[in-house]
Structure 1
Amino acid sequence: MKRFCLLLLSLVTIPTFAFSQGTAESKEPIVILISLDGFRYDYVDRFQPENLRRFIAEGVEAESMMPSFPSKTFPNHYTIATGLKPEHHGLVDNSFYDPEKDLTYGIGKKELVQDGSWYGGTPLWVLAEQNDMVAASYFFVGSEADIQGIRPSYYYPYDGSVSNMTRVSEVFKWLELPEAERPRLITLYFSDMDDVGHAYGPSNDAMLEPRLRKLDHELGALFEGLKSYDLDINVIIVSDHGMTDIPVDNFLNLTILTKDVPGSVVNNGALAHVYLENKKDKRKVIKSLENAGFPVHITDVDHKENYQDLMYKDRIGDILIIPDMGYYLATGPAVTLTKRRAKSLGTTVFGEHGFSPAYKEMHAVFYANGPAFNSGLRIETFQNVHVYPMICKILGLPIPDSIDGKLEVLAPILKN
């Protein structure tokens, strides 16, 4: 394994002066926030990756981290970035309709993803830049948008083809900058476990383990490289959600289910939003959906206490269609394509997420290591909104009064 890490390190440039850099400078704390998309809470225990295990043993580990609902990529990354629940920061799903804009946001629509007017709250990099602190991002939801007219000093529009080691190499380059230009907040994102989890399901050890081993070696190269810097670097590793197995036969035809709905249906998977043309039709539509014989729950948002008095309530459908755990909503063409793909891969199961955080399979990870943290500590499950104020505390940033996260939840894992 050491030889593999040395090989990986040889692929990135670490100038020799990095070993002494910072000795004549003030050592203000630095935070590197790493997201491992789709990394389920139990993967480390199951596969025992060497570098992550060592990182955890020397730092802090949570039993799991509870995502916000829906347990999807965009809502939860942005919750971690803002300390707000999705219904408070505006990204209520991966896809949703905004009646004021008369537009449907979607994670594949680059012009909307980069439009800061879709994003509420104050993400960490915006807060940092507002307080004269340099921030950098090699991918994180929202970091390529001009939120409140601000982007990180250094950032890249998302490109999944960029290798993990290229991302790691750029982190080293940022850390080598002069103190005035060096970022004190860096975000980093890896999609490996989400990709393989979707393709084969989270129970397919034969496919998951090789991908996790590779990711672990790449993280190991990052960890080793960071030791070269005489800087107070704190590394926080999170994920946005977990994953569960969905049998191919449990993909539900959303097109058939909603064929008589007088309105539009946005999103699918573990949650579909129904935006009615006339809200007076709501009771009739709900009854029709409930009588369709599908294993789903139909929720009237106006009668759901959790959705009352919310800033972005209009972005949530008038009616929510939520399938039972183990089932997944897909349009008619998507159901057909899913079955064909399963047959070509010789599988009967895919991996999906988006379900209620009440299901442990949806839970994510939280690991932290660095001079700001206690060592060898394991804590109970907590909600992901609480990461934000903790990072603010480490960096000395003011904690906004309006966030959902509470500093006292994670304060005990910090030294002093």
Structure 2
Amino acid sequence: VKTSLCLLWVSSILSAPVNKERQKLLLISFDGFRWDYDRDVDTPNLDKMAKDGVKALYVTPPYLTVTSPTHFTLLTGRYIENHGVIHNMWFNTATTEKKPYYPTQFVNDWWDNGTLPIWITAQRQGLKAGSLHFPGTASSYQGQVAMVREIEPPLYNYKNETVWQDNTDKVMGWFKYQDLDFVSMYFGEPDGTGHKYGPDSPERREMVKQVDRTVGYIRQSAELHGLDNSLNIIITADHGMSTVYRNNQVEAITLYKIPGFSFKDLSFHLVDYGPSGMLLPKPGLLEKVYNALKGAHPHLHVYKKEEMPARLHFAKNDRILPIILWADPGYVINGVLQSNKGEHGFDNENMDMKPFFRAVGPAFRRNLEVEPFETVNIYPLMCHILGIQPEVNDGHLTATKHMLVTSEAPQGQVTITFCLHPKSLSSLLQDSNGIDHYVLQ
């Protein structure tokens, strides 16, 4: 005898924003803007944005806390092990070739790895999308690109405030004259200044003032282009920044000085990139390399890939090498080759790695400060505002939907009755995001 259960599914539709005009969305990243950078600088425009919209105390990026991987998480809502853009640098372990950040933007199969960014998803569902300088813009995904896009040229000056304003007006023109629904926009500061001078430097504080002026200019440009009633603006960052200890402040982490460790035992390595590193030992030498490094320095963390803490979501990908290293805040690996006074790439639980978050527009509530959340949750929020069905992702709308303007009462209910085999019931309920309640009959 076949047994079935009937499931009465009652779903209240999340109230739409009070404003009825079609919602547009601008996602902006100011690279390396730490969550507390507005605390030692006068930031009237960021302050006004918080009063007019939503501010999070901070947000938590995924690990590894470097630029391309964390930006691709913003675009996809996936942890880094799931979207596969695991590093700023493309590399080939067979040839030992590596590419720096900018050339890596043009290695298509590094990005087009099975996960679709929000530009492509939006366009497939009838919307128009664009991107200016955002990491990943140069690639195509399953043969498609953002319909309007601009990639920064080589040796680009990320600091020029006049160019920032020109780019802002260009993007607002895309919304107004080309009727785009979504644009992602990237600014390379205050990351560069934080690296060069350190996060506690007067130079960084001056750059934060420039960012704040630009936030004011962005909102002014939106108003001048007549976008007040339709454009939502989310401003965040990929990671924070931490001061690097130098000279006699610390015992440096210098791998070749560690007893029992030899670079000759490796087929490939990435160990000159701030506080993080990955190693591919030669066949049969994994245990030797691991045992030499494990516990060799009090501020160096050494993990076999399969032993990585699950909270970091940085293990389950073939691109991730068998041994993973990272240093405590303030320390870098093989720092003799580096001169930066500030770095990122540390554990994402460290407060210095947390970015900021602001949001304003007709979809958002006003003068609301919310608790911290993970940046994987920004993607489903953006999909909801745009009215598109998200791809599979690691975020949850429940983490952010309290930011949104809703009507006084739900706009309606949908009641659906399913009759199904018990084995199908559990999988259905696992997919019931947004369901208020259900009744078994």
Partner of 1:79: 73
**Cα distance in 2 between the residues matched to 1:285 and 1:88:** 27
1:200 aligns with 2:197: yes
Partner of 2:137: 143
1:408 aligns with 2:398: yes
Task: State whether residues 60 and 373 of structure 1, in contact with CA within 8 Å, keep that contact through their aligned partners in structure 2.
Answer: yes
* Paired AA for residue 118 in structure 1: W
1:176 aligns with 2:188: no
Distance 1:104 1:124, change over 3 A: farther
Helix, strand or coil: the match of 1:207?
helix
Please give the residue correspondences for 1:82-121 in structure 2 after superposition, counting only pairs within 5 Å. Answer: 82-95=76-89, 97=91, 106-108=99-101, 110=103, 112-119=104-111, 120=113, 121=115
Alignment identity in percent? 26
* Structure 2, gaps ≥5 residues long: 1-19, 407-441
Partner of 2:417: none
Deviations 1:214-258 (A, max 9, x none): 222122112112112343000000111011111223553345455
**Cα distance in 1 between the residues matched to 2:276 and 2:395:** 25
Partner of 1:374: 365
**Cα distance in 1 between the residues matched to 2:356 and 2:346:** 16
**Cα distance in 2 between the residues matched to 1:43 and 1:234:** 23
1:222 aligns with 2:222: no
Task: State whether residues 96 and 316 of structure 1, in contact with CA within 8 Å, keep that contact through their aligned partners in structure 2.
Answer: no
Partner of 2:165: 165
Distance 1:134 1:309, change over 3 A: closer
* Displacement after TM superposition at 1:95 (Å): 2.6
Partner of 1:6: none
Helix, strand or coil: the match of 1:321?
strand
Name the structure with the higher helix share.
1
**Cα distance in 2 between the residues matched to 1:329 and 1:311:** 20
Helix, strand or coil: the match of 2:140?
coil
Helix, strand or coil: the match of 1:329?
coil
Helix, strand or coil: the match of 2:244?
strand
Deviations 1:317-361 (A, max 9, x none): 1111212222101365x14xx2xxxxxxxxxx7111111111111
**Cα distance in 2 between the residues matched to 1:325 and 1:358:** 11
Task: State whether residues 79 and 313 of structure 2, in contact with CA within 8 Å, keep that contact through their aligned partners in structure 1.
Answer: no
- Give 1:330's match in structure 2, choosing from 308, 328, 334: 334
* Greater Rg by CA: 2
Task: State whether residues 115 and 146 of structure 1, in contact with CA within 8 Å, keep that contact through their aligned partners in structure 2.
Answer: no
**Cα distance in 1 between the residues matched to 2:172 and 2:312:** 46
1:387 aligns with 2:378: yes
Partner of 1:397: 388
- Give 2:343's match in structure 1, choosing from 352, 358, 363: 352
Taking structure 2 as the reference length, the TM-score comes to: 0.78
* Paired AA for residue 202 in structure 1: P
**Cα distance in 2 between the residues matched to 1:60 and 1:226:** 18
- Give 1:70's match in structure 2, choosing from 64, 68, 82: 64
**Cα distance in 1 between the residues matched to 2:313 and 2:381:** 27
* Displacement after TM superposition at 1:415 (Å): 1.4
Task: State whether residues 98 and 314 of structure 1, in contact with CA within 8 Å, keep that contact through their aligned partners in structure 2.
Answer: no
* Paired AA for residue 169 in structure 1: D
**Cα distance in 2 between the residues matched to 1:288 and 1:89:** 32
* Paired AA for residue 236 in structure 1: I
Task: State whether residues 81 and 313 of structure 2, in contact with CA within 8 Å, keep that contact through their aligned partners in structure 1.
Answer: no
Partner of 1:342: none
Helix, strand or coil: the match of 1:88?
helix
1:188 aligns with 2:185: yes
* Paired AA for residue 117 in structure 1: D
* Structure 1, gaps ≥5 residues long: 1-25, 339-348
Distance 1:386 1:291, change over 3 A: closer
**Cα distance in 2 between the residues matched to 1:308 and 1:196:** 27
Task: State whether residues 200 and 350 of structure 1, in contact with CA within 8 Å, keep that contact through their aligned partners in structure 2.
Answer: yes
Of structures 1 and 2, the one with the larger relative CO (CA 8 A, separation 6+) is 2
**Cα distance in 1 between the residues matched to 2:218 and 2:210:** 13
Partner of 1:341: none
Partner of 1:45: 39
Taking structure 1 as the reference length, the TM-score comes to: 0.83
Provide the aligned C-alpha RMSD in A.
2.4
